[in-house]
Amino acid sequence: NAGVTQTPKFRILKIGQSMTLQCTQDMNHNYMYWYRQDPGMGLKLIYYSVGAGITDKGEVPNGYNVSRSTTEDFPLRLELAAPSQTSVYFCASSYPGPASSNYGYTFGSGTRLTVV
Amino acid sequence: AQSVTQLGSHVSVSEGALVLLRCNYSSSVPPYLFWYVQYPNQGLQLLLKYTSAATLVKGINGFEAEFKKSETSFHLTKPSAHMSDAAEYFCAVSDRVYGNKLVFGAGTILRVKS
């Protein structure tokens, strides 16, 4: 089925380790996003991309990096994991733009990350 | 900058009662607004969206929301709550200026009592 695929679903990291959260979409969406969800805080935007080769910081980018070499893939990199990065991470993609009748966002199923 | 405020982090209703979840927005341009539902340990599911067409928007599972520009509100309602409606609900506004980013409220946990 078409959509946004995130891997892994669960991960436990030790402080200082690094990892990459993978995100792939097969809908040919230009816009992609990474959010983190913490209890009582809603979802906060980490990074976003409006197309291959273009990325920009969101509200909470510190401690993360992204790249967008293809339309389909938007990996999120944690270089030195810290306990504050324990969270649930969601990747999303967006249909071209608000003027389209198909306008909307598609979310992945999430990655639950624990840093100990 | 766009922002969303959801009034009430927890709402409790009896089964069969009216559900009302409140959302107020701030936007520098005419907003596009969304309601999402999240069941425990699951991802986000779109309930409904407002994109400047009809101000009363009907969504899935019997939910609807009304866009009121004068009140900067987009409250979510359902006439009769069902036990299966117990979940967390998020209101979001789209940042249409650049990047099409979704800005979320903090969420409201709905509890349905039998």
Q: pLDDT (tens digit, 9 = 90+) per residue, B41-79?
A: 888 999 999 987 789 999 999 999 999 999 999 999 999
Instruction: State residue A1's pLDDT score.
Output: 63
Residue A36 Cα, gap to closest chain B Cα (Å): 11
Instruction: State residue A71's pLDDT score.
Output: 95
Per-residue b or e along B71-91, where b marks 16 or more CB atoms closer than 10 Å to that residue's CB: eebbbbebeebeeebbbbbbb
Instruction: State residue B98's pLDDT score.
Output: 67
Classify strands A105-107 and A87-94 as parallel, antiparallel or unpaired.
antiparallel
Question: Residue A46 pLDDT more than 80?
Answer: yes
Indicate the residue of B96, B99, B105 with minimum beta-carbon distance to A56.
B99
pLDDT tens, residue by residue, A74-87: 999 999 999 999 99
Vertex A88 angle, CA A83 and A93, to 5°: 135
Mean pLDDT confidence for A9-14:
96
Mean pLDDT for all residues in chain B: 92
Which residues, including other chains, have CB under 8 Å from residue B110's CB and lie 6 or more apart?
A: B11, B12, B13, B19, B21, B81, B85, B86, B87, B88, B89
- Calpha distance B98→B11 (Å, rounded): 34
Contact A44 B104 (CB under 8 A): yes
Instruction: State residue A99's pLDDT score.
Output: 58
Residue B41 Cα, gap to closest chain A Cα (Å): 9
Question: Residue A54 pLDDT more than 80?
Answer: yes
Indicate the residue of A31, A40, A42 with minimum beta-carbon distance to B104.
A42
Question: Residue B29 pLDDT more than 90?
Answer: no
pLDDT tens, residue by residue, A89-115: 999 998 766 556 667 788 999 999 999
- Measured between beta carbons, the chain A residues lying within 8 angstroms of B43 are 90, 107-110
Beta strands in chain A (DSSP E): 4-7, 10-13, 19-25, 31-38, 42-51, 54-57, 64-66, 76-78, 87-94, 105-107, 111-115
In contact, B48 and B54? CB cutoff 8 Å: no
Instruction: State residue B83's pLDDT score.
Output: 97
Any B CB within 8 A of A50 CB: yes
Any B CB within 8 A of A40 CB: yes
Contact B90 A33 (CB under 8 A): no
- Measured between beta carbons, the chain B residues lying within 8 angstroms of A40 are 9, 106-107
Mean pLDDT confidence for A47-51:
93
Question: Residue B111 pLDDT more than 90?
Answer: yes
Distances (CA, A) of A35 to A46, A109, A110, B29, B103: 5, 12, 9, 23, 10
| Number of CB pairs, chain A paired with chain B, less than 8 A apart | 54
Instruction: State residue B51's pLDDT score.
Output: 85
Residue A46 Cα, gap to closest chain B Cα (Å): 11
B14 by Cβ neighbours in 10 Å (0-12 / 13-18 / 19+) ranks as: exposed
Residue A65 Cα, gap to closest chain B Cα (Å): 18
